[in-house]
Chain A
């Protein structure tokens, strides 16, 4: 199983002008807007998947470089 790395999840989203940012107010707002919740989640999950894939790729590269460095040290 690939390890879960914390990643930055950023989306560009045209917020409705009346959409609050405060988490408590936002929760009240979203309760009556299931379509908006769906749109937001779709965008955030996609952004999360992409960011995670990239982080895992970078992590794998870093690890293989480390292994190679250790191998080279042993040889010399």
Chain B
């Protein structure tokens, strides 16, 4: 079966639609659990790549255990930040229908009071595949002296999306 080519306009439209859905879910979630939100950013490029982040894409390089609460801040002082890059197309050679798929993501939830964080990562262009599973989860603490987040263990994990991470946070920390 030959697959049809997807015009870039259609790709951009599907990405924008998906990002709108996520934005509505995110605001609704924050409203429900009483969190504050700052710096939500989204962009669909001419090349039909979608970026969605809270608060900014660059923040992940700078995050430490001492980072003041930012992004989505919960009433107990814990906070959630993320970045996601997506595209719309055929995920594999076997797919008949195009769909939204992540090119990379990081979803991080941090609890300063408990000196604990977890982060779901998918960054296929970073790190050695032997030590960086394609989809992985960090769940660890940080150094008391430097605040540096422990990078290991990296648990092998499956693909996850924003709504599932929000569900996990609500279920485990806010119910």
A interface residues (Cβ-Cβ under 8 A, vs B): 4-11, 21-24, 26-27, 30-31, 34, 37-38, 40-41, 44, 48, 52
Given A9-B30, A41-B20, A27 and B36 touching (CB < 8 A)? no
List, in ascending order, chain A residues with CB within 8 A of B23's CB. Answer: 41, 44
Give the interface segment out of B4-12, B65-73, B125-133, B141-149: B65-73
Give 1 or 0 for each of B63-106: 1 = CB within 8 Å of chain A CB. Answer: 00000011111000000000000000000000000000000000
Give 1 or 0 for each of B10-26: 1 = CB within 8 Å of chain A CB. Answer: 00000001001111110
Of A6, A23, A37, the residue contacting B73 (CB under 8 A) is: A6
A11 CB to closest chain B CB, in angstroms?
Answer: 7
B interface residues (Cβ-Cβ under 8 A, vs A): 17, 20-25, 27-32, 34-39, 55, 69-73, 162-164, 166-167, 170
A16 CB to closest chain B CB, in angstroms?
Answer: 13
Chain B, residue nearest A33 (CB)? B21
Given A30-B24, A41-B20, A44-B24, A9 and B164 touching (CB < 8 A)? no
Q: Most B CB atoms within 10 A — which of A26, A27, A34?
A: A27
Complex: how many Å from CA A21 to CA B69? 25
Complex: how many Å from CA A38 to CA B29? 16
Q: Are A26 and B163 in contact (CB under 8 A)?
A: yes
List, in ascending order, chain A residues with CB within 8 A of B162's CB. Answer: 23
List, in ascending order, chain B residues with CB within 8 A of A11's CB. Answer: 31
List, in ascending order, chain A residues with CB within 8 A of B34's CB. Answer: 8
The SS class assigned to the A binding surface is: helix
A6 CB to closest chain B CB, in angstroms?
Answer: 3
Q: Are B25 and A5 in contact (CB under 8 A)?
A: no
Q: List 25 A-B contacts (CB under 8 A).
A: A4-B38, A4-B55, A6-B36, A6-B38, A6-B71, A6-B72, A7-B37, A7-B38, A8-B30, A8-B36, A9-B36, A11-B31, A23-B29, A23-B164, A23-B166, A24-B167, A30-B25, A37-B17, A37-B20, A40-B24, A41-B24, A44-B24, A44-B27, A48-B27, A48-B37
Chain A, residue nearest B29 (CB)? A23
Complex: how many Å from CA A63 to CA B32? 31
* Beyond known contacts A9-B30, A23-B170, A31-B21: 12 more, CB 8 A cutoff: A5-B38, A6-B37, A6-B38, A6-B70, A6-B71, A6-B72, A7-B38, A8-B35, A26-B25, A30-B21, A44-B23, A52-B38
